[in-house]
Copies of this chain bind each other. A is one copy, B any other.
Amino acid sequence: MRKPPPPRVGTKGVPRADREAEILDAACREFGEQGYRHASVARIAAACEISRALVYEYFGSRDGLHAACARFIGDPLVAAVTAAQTSADPDERARATITAILTRLEERRFDWQVIYDPTVPPDAAGHDLLQDYRAALNRLGAEGVRAVSDTTDDLDLSLLTQLWYGTVTSTIAWWQRHPEETAASLAERWQRLLAMR
């Protein structure tokens, strides 16, 4: 029956940088789980046990917060995938790419959905950003697809590229329902299943 302590009004002594990181983390989860449209600043603030007003103070708007999340997730992800493109062998390169993605997302499995969020409206600040990240990832994926397939038809290639990313998205969705699987074990499983065919 103990009542929760009444919310104090003054500062809690948390430096801005720390608080911003905390908010960003909660926001990535919220935007990933709910999508841009249904993400709520109120829930993000509640997760950090602060008021909504502080979120606006630090990030300006819901949209600004979303753009910050996009950058926070997109920059290192694109860097990691780019860094994985070392081998000349297409199969080995595909393996390295999927391993890089999975490793990057190991502790943040909802991040992928922030990048591939279909509910971001075109006038959102983060929209163009996300499009750039997707384009970068797409370019890398398309190169891999071109190396493996023997078609030259543009429509074929665009469909294959879409299928490649659909496969990655499906895998991550499956992963979210199988939390016991690690990035390493999943990459291994993937390799085995794809080789089977």
A residues neighboring B (CB under 8 Å)? 35, 37-38, 119, 148-151, 155-156, 158-160, 162-163, 165-167, 169-171, 173-174, 178, 181, 189, 192-193, 196-197
Contacts and interface: CB of A to CB of B under 8 A. Distances in A.
25 contacts: A35-B35, A38-B38, A38-B119, A149-B193, A149-B196, A150-B196, A151-B196, A155-B178, A156-B192, A156-B193, A158-B174, A159-B189, A160-B193, A162-B170, A162-B171, A163-B171, A163-B174, A163-B193, A165-B170, A166-B167, A166-B169, A166-B171, A167-B167, A167-B170, A197-B197
- Identical chains bound together, number: 2
Given A149-B196, A171-B163, A156 B189 contact: yes
Considering the complex of A and B, which 7 residue pairs feature the smallest CB-CB distances, nearest first? A166-B170, A162-B174, A37-B38, A166-B166, A162-B170, A163-B170, A159-B174
A21 to B, nearest CB: 28
Chain A binding surface SS class: helix
Nearest to A190: B159
A81 to B, nearest CB: 19
